[in-house]
């Protein structure tokens, strides 16, 4: 949000020029000068804040606010997810899951199996949390079969991405559905129609190609793997139950919210709010970590000091991921506080094109300019809401418009998007490789998602 009692006097043209120059400078610092991404993001955020006219007395508050807001949503999920992954990895559970997947689906279809599992896990859980939970399984399969980690990682990451973008109860499509008056049930049905084929072509097949093009080793982001495997690894059922525990708690949270909206349960009761708190993503992951520490640690004969050290060892490798992701959020927050989104919204408000195309285009431009998919989606939906309300669209057409706007909100993930840094660091990619893989994949997801939504809209 822009600082209070401050109004941006620059128009959209100069603001976009400043944003473009800031992005180019950031890429130059990181790629050419090899300045650490964390330092580069802070420096460019500071310079951008001054260049866009944010008052000097407000600059630090904007920087710290953007950094803290991103950390608030990322640090707990990544830290707890890394602890859970470390317990699964060191207990031998990740290897057990990897062996089971390979034996049931075959070596050639292992990336497909990881992607399908991620599609299922991605229904109730947010993108970043789901990816962190799946990482030890992805890494174990990659270690066993060899080749690039992208061959196995991109199909899984793409699966979480398409579910997060297109399918309620994730916040983006839910918010757009409310703004545009679409039926959530229809959005879920059509969201799956869009998400599944989009994942297959743009994440699974692209992941196979990218893995052959960029052969990257499995990173040690979750810590080193012991050369000596555990003598008493857990069964596949135990590992699956631990992985499913946070997902079921989060799904319970979603179900309770749906029942409250339908008037089935009392949304003001203490029991309701307690259950909702237990089902929130950070608390669900905390419970899963505690259960994993008990079941995979103490009950399998590990000393409590060993378990403590294992959990502690999970945090060091992800500290860089958390800080860089927070700095990426800082850069995006500066762009939003400068008023770039508002200026673009004024310019793009009346484009004179079909409403479904206008929604997609507005969301795309806002996404590229300021980085936040949620801001791009909600702003674009708000801008086209009057035209949608006056259009007399049926429920299928409304759902298709929601999905088109959601598709635009994921386009061209780059350096002002905290998710760009999260994925790049998880898979051990430099900025160039992340742009060539993750950015291309997200853009393909957006384009194909819009294409399917447009076809549904046309024949509805």
Q: What six digits make up the tokens of 46?
A: 């500071």
Boundaries of domain holding 32: 12-56
User: Residues 313, 223: contact at Cβ < 8 Å?
Assistant: yes
Average pLDDT score over residue span 407-429: 90
Q: Each residue of 309-351: pLDDT tens digit?
A: 888 888 887 788 788 878 878 888 888 788 776 676 666 655 6
User: Residues 187, 211: contact at Cβ < 8 Å?
Assistant: no
The rounded distance, in Å, linking the Cα atoms of 338 and 420 is: 21
pLDDT value, residue 225: 57
Average pLDDT score over residue span 149-154: 96
Scanning 262-339, the segments in alpha helix (DSSP H) are 270-278, 281-295, 304-337
Considering the domain boundaries, does residue 16 fall inside one? yes
The rounded distance, in Å, linking the Cα atoms of 150 and 134 is: 14
Residue 362, φ and ψ in degrees, nearest 5: -60, -45
Higher pLDDT residue, 234 or 453?
A: 453
Considering the domain boundaries, does residue 29 fall inside one? yes
User: Residues 308, 285: contact at Cβ < 8 Å?
Assistant: no
Q: Each residue of 160-177: pLDDT tens digit?
A: 999 989 987 777 787 888
137-141, 172-176, 420-424, 441-445: which has the minimum mean pLDDT? 172-176
Q: What six digits make up the tokens of 215?
A: 């052969």
Average pLDDT score over residue span 286-297: 92
Higher pLDDT residue, 164 or 225?
A: 164
Q: Each residue of 66-111: pLDDT tens digit?
A: 898 878 877 887 788 888 878 887 888 878 888 888 888 888 899 9
Considering the domain boundaries, does residue 24 fall inside one? yes
Considering the domain boundaries, does residue 135 fall inside one? no
Q: pTM to 2 decimals? A: 0.78
Considering the domain boundaries, does residue 175 fall inside one? no
Q: How far apart are the first and last CA of the chain?
A: 38
Considering the domain boundaries, does residue 279 fall inside one? no
pLDDT value, residue 441: 97
pLDDT(216) > 60: yes
Considering the domain boundaries, does residue 34 fall inside one? yes
Q: Each residue of 55-68: pLDDT tens digit?
A: 898 899 999 998 98
Higher pLDDT residue, 391 or 449?
A: 449
Considering the domain boundaries, does residue 38 fall inside one? yes
The tally of domains found in the chain comes to: 1
pLDDT value, residue 213: 95
Q: What is the mean pLDDT of the chain?
A: 85
User: Residues 370, 341: contact at Cβ < 8 Å?
Assistant: yes
- CB-based burial label for 259 (10 Å; 0-12, 13-18, 19+): middle
Tell me the torsion sign for CA atoms 182, 184, 186, 192: positive
User: Residues 163, 136: contact at Cβ < 8 Å?
Assistant: no
């Amino acid at each position: 949000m822009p600082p209070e009692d401050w109004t941006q006097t620059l128009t959209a043209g100069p603001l976009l020029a400043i944003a473009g120059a800031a992005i180019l400078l950031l890429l130059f610092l990181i790629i050419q000068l090899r300045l650490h991404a964390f330092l580069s993001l802070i420096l460019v955020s500071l310079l951008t804040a001054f260049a866009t006219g944010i008052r000097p007395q407000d600059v630090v508050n904007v920087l710290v606010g953007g950094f803290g807001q991103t950390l608030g949503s990322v640090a707990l999920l990544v830290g707890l997810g890394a602890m859970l992954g470390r317990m699964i990895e060191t207990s031998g559970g990740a290897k057990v899951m990897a062996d089971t997947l390979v034996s049931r689906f075959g070596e050639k279809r292992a990336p497909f199996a990881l992607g399908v599992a991620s599609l299922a896990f991605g229904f109730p859980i947010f993108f970043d949390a789901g990816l962190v939970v799946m990482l030890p399984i992805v890494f174990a399969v990659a270690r066993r079969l060899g080749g690039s980690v992208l061959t196995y990682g991109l199909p899984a990451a793409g699966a979480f991405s398409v579910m997060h973008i297109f399918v309620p109860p994730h916040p983006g499509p839910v918010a757009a559905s409310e703004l545009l008056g679409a039926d959530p049930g229809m959005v879920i049905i059509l969201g799956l129609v869009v998400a599944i084929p989009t994942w297959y072509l743009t994440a699974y097949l692209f992941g196979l190609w990218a893995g052959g093009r960029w052969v990257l080793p499995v990173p040690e982001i979750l810590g080193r793997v012991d050369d000596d495997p555990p003598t008493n690894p857990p069964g596949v059922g135990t590992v699956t139950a631990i992985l499913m525990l946070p997902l079921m708690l989060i799904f319970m949270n979603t179900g309770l919210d749906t029942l409250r909206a339908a008037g089935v349960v009392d949304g003001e009761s203490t029991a309701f709010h307690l259950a909702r708190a237990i089902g929130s993503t950070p608390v669900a992951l905390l419970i899963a970590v505690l259960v994993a520490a008990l079941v995979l640690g103490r009950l399998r004969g590990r000393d409590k000091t060993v378990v403590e050290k294992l959990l502690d060892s999970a945090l060091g490798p992800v500290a860089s991921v958390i800080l860089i992701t927070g700095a990426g959020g800082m850069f995006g927050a500066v762009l939003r506080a400068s008023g770039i989104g508002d200026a673009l919204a004024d310019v793009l408000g009346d484009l004179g094109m079909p409403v479904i195309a206008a929604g997609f285009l507005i969301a795309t431009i806002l996404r590229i300019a300021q980085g936040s998919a949620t801001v791009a989606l909600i702003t674009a939906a708000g801008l086209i809401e009057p035209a949608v309300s006056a259009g007399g669209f049926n429920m299928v057409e409304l759902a298709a418009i929601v999905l088109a706007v959601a598709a635009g909100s994921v386009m061209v993930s780059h350096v002002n998007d905290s998710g760009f840094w999260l994925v790049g660091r998880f898979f051990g990619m430099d900025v160039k490789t992340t742009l060539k893989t993750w950015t291309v994949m997200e853009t393909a997801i957006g384009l194909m998602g819009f294409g399917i939504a447009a076809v549904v809209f046309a024949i509805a």
